[in-house]
Chain A
Amino acid sequence: MNMFEMKNRKGAVPGKFITAIIVAVWVFIIIGVFLALSVAAKVLLKPGSGEVSEGSVIESILTEKINLNGKEVLVFDAYLMYEDKVIEREKFEKELEKLLNSDKNCLGLAKGEDKDPAGNTGGEASDDFFIIFDGEKANSLQKGSRPLRFGKYRKQGLLHETYFQNKEGKMVYVEYYYGGCLK
């Protein structure tokens, strides 16, 4: 019995060692799978991957000064005037175009009675502005995929939102962007 027990104990040492190695290998495999899944989850859950063009500055368009009928006006006040139909779209748009340059080559203004108005299409986007400076001139046509393109800036967390009360006392939400265009 004593001899048998001794034999067993001798065999237990390499047996335990092999078990430990197998367990270690399993642990490493599991950690590897976990890390791989973590990285995959992080990549898949990441919202979008757009970049704003290099050297761009994101500022508030609403506090920029423009000139309307010989008077200096802030863009926010001008947008209120546009809402109240005191100024025409063309006049306002032309002044907005002057604010664009190679650093700040994208400008967006959207308003609506519901939150997050940027990216609306059709009639809902008729009072929106999305202007791009292509290096030579500003292009402010508001048609085709432009409203949807403006909406993409929200996915990147680049839009800011505020609100005002119109003449009828209704809440009007304004989303805006002023800075480099998304690549």
Chain B
Amino acid sequence: MRINSKRGDVPLALLVIIALVFAVAALFAFASYGGKFQTNSEDFSKLTFDLRMYEDYIFKSAEIIGREAIVQGGDVEKNMQKIEAERMLRIKEFGNFFGKIRTGEFEFNDNGDGYMLNVNDVFVIVQNGDNSIKRNFDVKIEFDKDGKARNIYK
């Protein structure tokens, strides 16, 4: 009986050692992998935040430039191009909006009781490493005669 018991100790000890090795290996995998999903999610969240920020920047810039063009009086389209020409382009993520204004690819029409600004097929693009997101949209803003934005169509 004693001999049998001692023989049984070896597999039991091995079982314990193997279990410990698996536990440590699993713990190591857990520690080294933990947070990767969170990091990816944070990266994506930051990209979408930036995308929203650049889009918001374009709409608000269009609102400010549009108002200035109306306040100056005369040909509002030419005014808008002139105002934009004085601006230095500093970020490529702003996409093609400001380029379209400079080259006259937009409409800024007097509709009787105000003005309607239309810039079609505008895009913004954000990039982080291998990930990038592009968003296409139209910029449509309705101004009153004083240059105050009445409706911003997003």
Contact = CB atoms under 8 A, between A and B. Distances in A.
Interface string A42-85: 10010000000000000010110100000111101100100000
A11 interface: yes
B57 A63 contact: yes
B1 interface: yes
B15 interface: yes
A160 B48 CA distance: 11
Contacts of B8: 15, 19
Interface stretch (B30-38, B116-124, B130-138): B30-38
B49 A22 contact: no
B27 A38 contact: yes
A162 interface: yes
Interface string B13-44: 00110011001001100110011000000100
Contact of A73 (B56, B64, B93): B64
Contacts of A71: 68
Interface residues of A, number: 35
B57 A22 contact: no
A123 interface: no
Nearest to B61: A74
A162 B60 contact: no
A141 B56 CA distance: 29
Nearest to A22: B12
Contacts of A162: 50, 53, 91, 93
A30 B93 contact: no
Contacts of A38: 27, 30
Given A34-B23, A164-B91, A74 B57 contact: yes
A65 B60 contact: yes
B78 interface: no
B27 A34 contact: yes
Contacts of A164: 90-91
Nearest to B55: A63
A37 B16 CA distance: 17
B46 interface: yes
A23 interface: yes
Contacts of A167: 88
A15 B27 CA distance: 33
Given A37-B27, A72-B64, A74-B57, A30 B20 contact: yes
The 9 closest A-B pairs by CB, nearest first: A164-B90, A60-B53, A34-B23, A63-B56, A30-B19, A63-B57, A41-B31, A165-B90, A26-B16
